[in-house]
Amino acid sequence: MSKKKEILYHIIFWFLFVGLEQLLKSITVYKDLDTTWSILQNLGFLLLELLIFYSNYLLICPKTIPNKRWRLLIVAQFGLIILFPAIRFVYEEVILFKITGYHNYDMRDLDPLYYIYDNSYYSIRILLFSLVGYFMKYMWNTNTQVTQLIVEKKQAELQSLKNQLSPHFLFNSLNGFYSDLYDTNPTVAADILKLSEMLRYVTYESENDMVLLKDEILFLQNYIDLFKRRFDGKVAVTFIHPHDFGTYKIPSLLLIHFVENAFKHGVTDDDDNPVVVEAKTQSGRLIFTVNNKYRVTQSYDEHGIGNKNISQRLNILYPENHSLNIEQDTQYYNVTLIIPLS
């Protein structure tokens, strides 16, 4: 749902909500109330409803519902149910009393529990509206993203079929070259084996939504090794990672984009400022960083299609549960990606 549509729906909702509420009050509320007190009370009450509604809609729901943190959501709802009468009491019985001299409740025998109970209708009502509104928005956006993913996947599959050359033919040919060169030129044979493994990984493993983290790291290592080989080893790059990632899984081909960007745009021949790629796990999350220097004449396109595709993919896979931080100054480009491991 676009922001413009969302804002329009909210304006319509509040117009109808306030209109019906004022119509009901005009029928049921006594006509001889102090006009100043009535205007200020209605205005403050509306602002309080807006505060509770959007505290739930914009802060609590996005932090709990996408990540299925239901306990925290329930606790937060009870907190807002208590917060509503607390703010109302301060505004109406303290501030408005000083301004107009009128109380809304009889303060002589007002019981706190009764006050909370008496206001629960208003607080629960506005919370239910905010929950329903957020769930409708969430379902709308989720369905839109799923539809977009299906279309993009079909397009990718079609493009893959158009460009496909029999993988078995490629693998068998590369394995034949590897066997022929194993004894006479082991260095080239090792490079051919790495290339064969990369092709196999891209062809088969990328079809899976999730792959072993250790396989993704091996794919990056082979890519870096071949890049070094291409330039006769005159490449300043450091790849730091543990030897064992266990059985952790991540989305396939998620990390290669950032390494490709560093090699494409970065300075790779400065031993004092190498491209540094690091992958580590911490508290059940992957922390992946790429840091590199780049020439002033070369500028990254931070809003390029590659970064946009990665951001969209992360938003779908890990809504509100990931971090992609890209920092760029006049000389250095730094990327930090943090995602949960499965």
Strand 275-282 and strand 249-251: the pairing is unpaired
The whole-number pLDDT of residue 302 equals 47
How much is the pTM?
A: 0.51
Domain end point (choices 98, 124, 158): 158
| 3-state secondary structure (DSSP) of residue 9 | helix
The whole-number pLDDT of residue 303 equals 46
pLDDT-flagged residues of the chain (< 50): 32, 162, 165, 301-303
> In 55-111, which residue ranges form alpha helices assigned H by DSSP?
61-64, 70-89, 96-100
Is residue 210, in this structure, part of any structural domain at all?
no
Task: Please report the DSSP string for 184-224 in residue order.
Answer: T-HHHHHHHHHHHHHHHHHHHGGGSSEEEHHHHHHHHHHHH
The whole-number pLDDT of residue 30 equals 52
Is residue 40, in this structure, part of any structural domain at all?
yes
Is residue 65, in this structure, part of any structural domain at all?
yes
Residues 10 and 154 in one domain: yes
The whole-number pLDDT of residue 329 equals 84
The whole-number pLDDT of residue 53 equals 93
The whole-number pLDDT of residue 37 equals 80
The whole-number pLDDT of residue 26 equals 64
- How far apart, in whole angstroms, are the C-alpha atoms of residue 130 and residue 60? 10
Domain end point (choices 98, 127, 158): 158
The domain that contains 319 carries what CATH number? 3.30.565.10
The residue segments making up the domain with residue 36 are: 3-158
Domain end point (choices 96, 125, 158): 158
Is residue 113, in this structure, part of any structural domain at all?
yes
